[in-house]
């Protein structure tokens, strides 16, 4: 039952991401260029790998599709905040710069505000599927 619950959450998340990738790509003024580049890259990779996209090596060569997915996830984030953490125990936690979080405090990262902050992205509300892909962690 736990595995089934995990699959349900995964299915929801992947459907949400895929739906937004399609909407972001097709609503972009550069959609024809992005789609042509993605298809060209997939054709090239599948020609190099006759068994298709069934290996990590093949999938890692599809950089344009990866870039479009990452950019869509930045722009059409699943949630505005993430990584919720509660301060537990009986002592406050020093979070730096003289700030103390008392027990019972809930903290999180403001992911959506960071993803649309002009200090981090030039024209942050524009879908730009050609952003350079970051390294994998």
Residue boundaries of the structural domains of the chain: 1-78, 80-122
**pTM greater than the 0.85 cutoff:** no
HSE on the CB side for 121, CA within 13 Å? 17
pLDDT tens series, the chain, 137 aa:
888 888 888 888 889 999 999 999 999 999 999 999 999 999 999 999 988 888 999 999 999 999 999 999 999 988 888 889 999 999 999 999 999 999 999 999 899 999 999 998 889 999 998 754 444 43
Distance of CA 52 to the CA centre of its chain: 24
In which element (H, E) is residue 82 found? strand 82-86
């Amino acid at each position: 039952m736990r595995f089934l619950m995990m699959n349900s959450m995964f299915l929801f998340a992947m459907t949400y991401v895929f739906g937004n990738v399609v909407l972001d790509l097709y609503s972009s003024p550069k959609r024809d260029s992005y789609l042509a580049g993605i298809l060209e890259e997939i054709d090239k990779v599948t020609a190099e790998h006759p068994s298709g996209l069934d290996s990590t090596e093949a999938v890692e060569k599809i950089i344009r599709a990866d870039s479009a997915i990452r950019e869509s996830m930045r722009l059409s984030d699943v949630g505005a905040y993430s990584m919720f953490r509660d301060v537990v125990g009986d002592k406050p936690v020093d979070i730096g710069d003289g700030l103390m979080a008392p027990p019972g405090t809930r903290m999180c990262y403001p992911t959506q505000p960071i993803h649309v902050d002009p200090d981090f992205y030039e024209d942050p509300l524009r879908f730009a599927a050609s952003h350079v892909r970051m390294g994998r962690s």
